[in-house]
Every structure is written in structure tokens, then in C-alpha cells.
């Protein structure tokens, strides 16, 4: 089969494809280890990008990077429009973030992860012309209950009722940013508690949708690339997600509209990623609530922890792998 022949991911062995993807996030996480806590986020990101690109080049697929990282902050990047894979096999859209949480990595803080999300070609929204979007993510209880256009207190009370919880027991994740001061105040005024994130809202969104998490909702303005990536995971978990574009000025709004984005529209997860067969793969870079970061096992091995989510089957797989240190940290 050539890259010009129509193909869907489900026509190929799912487990093998997922395992190829996870090798790329494992490589990025391991290569970032020497940079953890060193204060150099660009150095960490550069090491992770190089490792991820090298391993993606061995995967049998024709990947088009629709959501890349780097344009926003001049970091080294797997750029939008870059082709990855060996060009053979299914044609796919791909979202990559070699380190979601470069600042976390540089500071040695928790919750940095390496991420790849994949869907069939032409199914992933390119939101790169507007850097930020407003998001709300919950578990499946949010369907038919939550509306991003409503006041946050109304949504919190509605979700608490749907989950048969006291509002005082609700925990709402939000990025700790000056732009969220009013939002944080409204969350606390509702009676719910906050879980402030210094960075890494992909993990925050996934934790809000997980059935075994202590986080009930993730809200606020974060990166548009991270929103598309999160949508791939939410579709696999069966969670709820709504977003609105958040252009910073009229010029960015105009660029977004010229690129086909509707800055007044509420986008659901299926609008962000329309394919019914998506993969989300992540490996921990630093320890966090979703994944543990790489750690030495004795003197000879380094252990990684990863997660694979697939929307078509609705499966969540966790993978722990031990790697020879001599192969990675030479």
C-alpha cells in the first residue's frame, strides 16, 4: 500500500501502530531527562523534538503535522505542515508536543508530558491562526449539562448535581494566570475548590475527564494546539469538551476568520477532531497526576510510564517500559 492509496488507521494493526507512536514519546521524555530542573526550557524542548522526529521517521504512516509547537514562542519545533513517518501506510493528521510543559521541565515541577495525537487525514482542525482558546472539560456527566456560555458557577452546580456530589467537594483545574483572576474568584465563590496549574493544560483536561481522577472540571484559556490535542484524548475517554477561540486582538480575529475559523462559535470535541478513530499517546516527562516521569532503576535502566487512548475502541492502556541507560544517556 502506498501513501497515495486511501486508508484508515483501523485497517492496520492498532496495537503495532500505537506502540510505534509511544516509542517516539518515550524517546522525547528520556532525552529531556538531563534538562529537568536546569532552567533551560529551549534546551529541553530541542532535545525532545530531535528525539521525537527521529523516531516518527521510522513509523509506517504518512503523517502531516497539523498542530505543531514552536511558532508561539520561537522554540525549536516540529512545525505545522511538516511531513513525518516513512511515507508508507495510512495518511494521517498529527498533533505533536514533544514537551507539554517546557517551563515545568526547566523548573523541575510536576505534570510535564510528551504528547502525540493522530487522526485520519483531513479530520483535525487547524486552529494555529488563533493561538488561544477558552475551554471547558469534564467527564461524560457533562454531556447535555455543561455549556461554556453559561456562568462558571452555574456549570459547577449543574455538574455537581449530575455527579451526585456536594459542590464543596468539587475540584476545578485552571491555569494560574493573571487572565484567570476573575474566573478563579468565581469558582471559589461558587463553593468549589480550585486546583491551580502552573502549566500543562493537556494533562489538566485529561484528568478532568478521567473516571478515576480527583479533578472534576478543567476550565480557562489555554493554547489552541493543546486544545486540539486534548480533544483527541477526550474522544477516547468519552468525556465532554467545549471550546471557543480567544483571539487576543482584532488582527488575530481577522487572521482566524480568514483561515476559516469562527471566533464566535462553540466548538465541541467532534468539531476539533472529526475522525472516529483517533489515538492519543503520552509519556511522562516529570512526575504528575497523570503519569510518572522517567526514573533510574538501579544503575542500568531507566523506566518510563506512558498512556495510550483510542477513540474507536474506547480503550485506555498504560505502558511501563524499562530501557537500558547505555542506549539513551550516553
Q: Report the binding-site residues for Mn(2+).
A: 45, 69, 97, 100, 226
**Are 12 and 85 contacting, i.e. CB atoms less than 8 angstroms apart?**
no
Task: Give the annotated binding-site residues.
Answer: 45, 69, 97, 100-102, 132, 177-179, 199-201, 223, 226
**How far apart (Å, rounded) are the C-alpha atoms in residues 79 and 93?**
13
**Which residue in 215, 279, 210 sits closest to 238, CA to CA?**
210
**Which residue in 293, 299, 287 sits closest to 324, CA to CA?**
299
Strands 315-324 and 301-310 come out as: antiparallel
Task: Give the annotated binding-site residues for substrate.
Answer: 100-102, 132, 177-179, 199-201, 223
DSSP letters for 216-238: -EEEEEEEHHHHHHHHHHHHHHT
User: What does the block give as the cell for 228?
Assistant: 486540539
* Coil, strand or helix at 54: helix
Amino acid at each position: 500500500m502506498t501513501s497515495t492509496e486511501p486508508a484508515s488507521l483501523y485497517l492496520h494493526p492498532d496495537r503495532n501502530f500505537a506502540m510505534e507512536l509511544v516509542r517516539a514519546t518515550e524517546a522525547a521524555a528520556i532525552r529531556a531527562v538531563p534538562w529537568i530542573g536546569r532552567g533551560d526550557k529551549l534546551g529541553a524542548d530541542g532535545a525532545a523534538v530531535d528525539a521525537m522526529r527521529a523516531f516518527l521517521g521510522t513509523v509506517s504512516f504518512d503523517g502531516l503535522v497539523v498542530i505543531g509547537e514552536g511558532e508561539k514562542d520561537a522554540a525549536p519545533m516540529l512545525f505545522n505542515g511538516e511531513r513525518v513517518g516513512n511515507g508508507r501506510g495510512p495518511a494521517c493528521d498529527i498533533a505533536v508536543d514533544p514537551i507539554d510543559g517546557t517551563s515545568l521541565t526547566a523548573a523541575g515541577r510536576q505534570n510535564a508530558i510528551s504528547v502525540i495525537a493522530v487522526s485520519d487525514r483531513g479530520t483535525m482542525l487547524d486552529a494555529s491562526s488563533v493561538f488561544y482558546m477558552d475551554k471547558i472539560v469534564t467527564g461524560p456527566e457533562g454531556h447535555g449539562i455543561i455549556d461554556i456560555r453559561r456562568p462558571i458557577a452555574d456549570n459547577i452546580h449543574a455538574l455537581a448535581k449530575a455527579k451526585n456530589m456536594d459542590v464543596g467537594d468539587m475540584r476545578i483545574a485552571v491555569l494560574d494566570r493573571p487572565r484567570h483572576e476573575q474566573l478563579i474568584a468565581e469558582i471559589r465563590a461558587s463553593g468549589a475548590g480550585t486546583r491551580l496549574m502552573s502549566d500543562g493544560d493537556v494533562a489538566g483536561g485529561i484528568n478532568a475527564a478521567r473516571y478515576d481522577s480527583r479533578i472534576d472540571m478543567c476550565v480557562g484559556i489555554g493554547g489552541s494546539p493543546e486544545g486540539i490535542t486534548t480533544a483527541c484524548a477526550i474522544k477516547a475517554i468519552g468525556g465532554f469538551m467545549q471550546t471557543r477561540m480567544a483571539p487576543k486582538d482584532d488582527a488575530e480575529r481577522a487572521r482566524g476568520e480568514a483561515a476559516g475559523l469562527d471566533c464566535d462559535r462553540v466548538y465541541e470535541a467532534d468539531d476539533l477532531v472529526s475522525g472516529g478513530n483517533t489515538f492519543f499517546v503520552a509519556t511522562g516527562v516529570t512526575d504528575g497526576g497523570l503519569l510518572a516521569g522517567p526514573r533510574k532503576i538501579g544503575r542500568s535502566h531507566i523506566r518510563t510510564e506512558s498512556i495510550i487512548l483510542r477513540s474507536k475502541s474506547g480503550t485506555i492502556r498504560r505502558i511501563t517500559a524499562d530501557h537500558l541507560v547505555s542506549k539513551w544517556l550516553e
